[in-house]
Amino acid sequence: MEALILGWYVLSATGSVEWLVVFGSLPWIGALFALFLGMAGDRLGLRALLCLSRGGYTIVAGTLMVLTVTGALSPMQVFVLYGITGLMRPSDQAMRNVLIAQTTPPGTLMGALGLSRTTGDMAKVLGSLAGAGGVAMIGMGPAYVVVTALYASAFLLALGLARPPLHAGHAKAHDVLRGQMDAIRYTWSKPDLFGAFVIAFIGNLLAFPFVLGLLPYAAKEVYRVGQAGLGYLAAAFALGALAGSIMVGANMMRVAAGRMMLWSCGVWFVAVILLGQSRSFAIGFALLFLSGLMQSLCLTPLAAVMLRGSSLEMRGRVMGMRVLAVWGLPLGLLASGPLIAHFGYVACTVLYGSLGLAATLAVGYRCRDDLWDRSAPANSHV
């Protein structure tokens, strides 16, 4: 909801796709601190981190609400304040996945991850419609009152977490650095973890920019629709993701996690290429739905592969490494701005989709014994 409200504001206020992609990169700058947060989660407990993040979101949203209602909001204020929330935002999903792994037996891990994503994807559907359509109906100020209230309720709900930390005690600076190096070596040495990390990185680098940053541009310049149309396009992607989460969470299929991660990622990039060729709103809606579906069928098994392949004491740090892959998103977004300005939106989708498909095939071949072989632990149904 917040991303669509502010993304449309930035594009309307600046009229620049370059500034839009800078804004779209802000929520992901905190991926740089992912390993520190992974260590902190192992040492101090995830409850404190989740409460801290949601409390910070509430304060920043309240500040933006006041600036909006008083008419004092400017694009630079949006960049600064939204960038502050980006310090914690990339680690949210990883922290929730670690909590799930701590509280569910291995046989139900995939279903539990799918169920967790279902709640988030359902919120994205409603938030997409409310974020863009709500502004068109009631204005940006009242819509931001709702955003602030939702963040405040999320903080209160986070107080209900009571899971103790895995490792008590305080970490010294050299322990944190050593933990980071251990996580890098551990991930690099296990082909299943390395392959999953690369898939996560290329997905963020080459696929997510078109739905997590460039969607306002596509709505305004490609499909020629207003804020309500933007909400429908964002909801299409979220609906596809929700459908995928339900399929995995309800155990509608026996999932070989490694294989599903690879083939769904390949289809996702094909959808990106086709998305650039379409000028029809209906076809764009369908392709965004397909992208969301494939995204969900890729990233939920990916999380399962990384959690299954990690020892208990390394899970927090490995998921911190997983969050580092999010750095691909701001890099891909920042590169897409000049590419679109000079070569066009269509050329950018073809370039990104083709590179992503080629990289997926390379990972599948390089890690075929650990991710594609049916007997590999990553493809276990237990």
| pLDDT for position 168 | 45
| pLDDT for position 163 | 58
User: Which whole number is the average pLDDT over 226-237?
Assistant: 86
- Domain-located, residue 360: yes
- Domain-located, residue 166: no
| pLDDT for position 93 | 67
For the stretch 261-314, pLDDT in tens is 999 999 999 999 999 898 899 999 999 999 999 999 998 888 888 888 877 777
pLDDT at 373 over 50: yes
- Domain-located, residue 80: yes
Instruction: Output the CA–CA distances (angstroms, integers) from residue 54 to 8, 273, 285, 316, in the order listed.
Output: 24, 36, 32, 19
- Domain-located, residue 94: yes
For the stretch 148-166, pLDDT in tens is 999 999 999 988 876 554 4
Residues 6+ apart with CB under 8 A from 267: 290, 294
| pLDDT for position 198 | 94
CA–CA distance, 12 with 19 (Å, rounded to integer): 11
Helix (H) / strand (E) element for 153: namely: helix 140-158
- Domain-located, residue 167: no
Residues 6+ apart with CB under 8 A from 125: 235, 238, 239, 242
Q: What is the mean pLDDT of the chain?
A: 83
- Domain-located, residue 181: yes
Domain harbouring 147, CATH code = 1.20.1250.20
CA–CA distance, 174 with 182 (Å, rounded to integer): 12
The HSE-up count of residue 314 (CA atoms within 13 Å, CB side) is 20
Which of the pair, 382 or 319, is modelled with greater confidence?
Answer: 319
Question: What is the pTM for the complete model shown?
Answer: 0.74
CA 216 to mean position of chain CA atoms: 17
For the stretch 58-71, pLDDT in tens is 999 999 999 998 98
CA–CA distance, 80 with 73 (Å, rounded to integer): 12
- Domain-located, residue 128: yes
The tally of domains found in the chain comes to 1
Q: Using the 8-state DSSP alphabet, how is residue 372 labeled?
A: I
Task: Show the domain range for 38.
Answer: 2-161+172-379
pLDDT at 202 over 90: yes
